[in-house]
A and B are shown apart, each in its own frame.
Chain A
Amino acid sequence: MSNLLDLIVAGLATGAIYALVAVGFTLLWQTSQTINFAQGEFVMLPAFLMLAVMHLGAPFWLAILVGIVLSALLLGLAFKMLLVDPMLRHGVLPLAIATMALAIAIKEAVKQFFSAEASPFPSIVPAGDVSILGRAISLQSLGVLAVAILAVVGLTTLLNRTSLGHQMQAAAQNPTVARIIGVPVERMILLTFLINAVLVALASLLITPIYLAKFSSGEVLGQAAFIAAIVGGFNQVRGAIAGGLLIGVVDNLAAAYVSTQYRAAVPMILLIMMILFRPQGLLGRAEERTV
Chain B
Amino acid sequence: MRSIILAGLCSAVLLSGAAYAQSGAPIKIANVAELSGGGATVGNNWKNGIDLAVEEINAKGGILGRKIEVSHADSQSNPGVARAQVQKALDGEPYVLLGPGYSGSVKVTAPLAAEAGITQIMGGEAAELTQAGNKFLFRTSFGQQSSMPKVAKYVNDELKAKSVAVVWVNNDFGRGGRDVITKEFNRLGIKVAADLSTEAGQADFAADVSKIKAAAPDAVFIYVNEEESARILKEIKRQGVTVPLIGETTLVGQKVIELAGDAANGARGHVGLTTDAPVEAIKAFRDRFVKKYNYVPDHNGLKGYLAIYMVKATTEKMGKVDSKAFADTLHGLTIKTSAEPNILMDVTFDQNGDIDRQGFLVEVVEGKQVVKQVLPKLN
Contacts and interface: CB of A to CB of B under 8 A. Distances in A.
Tell me, yes or no, whether A binds B: yes
Interface of A: 3, 6-7, 10-11, 14, 111, 115-120, 127, 129, 136, 138, 140-141, 210-212, 214-217, 220, 251-253, 255-256, 260-261, 263-264
B207 A10 contact: yes
Category for how many chain B residues contact A: 35 or more
A137 B368 CA distance: 29
Interface string B192-219: 0000111101111011101101100000
A260 B198 contact: yes
Given A211-B231, A220-B203, A261-B197, A10 B35 contact: no
A260 B240 contact: no
A212 B35 CA distance: 18
Contact of B207 (A136, A138, A256, A264): A256
Given A7-B206, A216-B37, A260-B198, A117 B255 contact: yes
Name the 3 nearest CB pairs between A and B, nearest first: A255-B207, A10-B206, A116-B40
A251 B204 contact: yes
Interface stretch (B257-265, B343-351, B370-378): B257-265
B44 A117 contact: yes
Q: Which of B37, B40, B255, B262 counts the most chain A CB atoms within 10 A?
A: B40
A255 B210 CA distance: 10
A212 B206 CA distance: 15
B237 interface: yes
B334 interface: no
Nearest to A251: B204
B329 interface: no
Contacts of B170: 260-261
Interface string B212-250: 011000000000000100110011011110000000000
A210 B210 contact: no
Given A210-B231, A212-B231, A140 B203 contact: no
Contacts of A7: 206-207, 210
Interface of B: 35-37, 40-41, 44, 170, 196-199, 201-204, 206-208, 210-211, 213-214, 227, 230-231, 234-235, 237-240, 255, 258-262
A242 to B, nearest CB: 20
Contact of B44 (A116, A120, A253): A116
B214 A129 contact: no
A10 B210 contact: yes
Given A7-B206, A256-B211, A120 B258 contact: yes
A3 B231 contact: no
A214 B234 CA distance: 16
A120 B264 CA distance: 13
Contacts of A216: 37, 201
B54 to A, nearest CB: 21
Contact of B262 (A118, A127, A253): A127
Nearest to B202: A260
Contacts of B211: 3, 256
Contacts of B206: 6-7, 10-11, 14, 252
A212 B199 contact: no
A210 B231 CA distance: 7
A256 B210 contact: yes
Contact of A120 (B41, B199, B239, B259): B259
A6 B210 contact: yes
A2 to B, nearest CB: 9
B234 A210 contact: yes
Contacts of B41: 117-118
B36 A111 contact: yes
B40 A260 contact: no
11 contacts: A6-B239, A7-B210, A116-B37, A116-B40, A138-B239, A210-B203, A210-B204, A210-B231, A211-B231, A215-B36, A220-B201
Contacts of B259: 118-120, 212
Contacts of A10: 204, 206-207, 210
Contacts of B36: 111, 116, 215
B199 A261 contact: yes
A252 B262 contact: no
Contacts of B197: 260-261
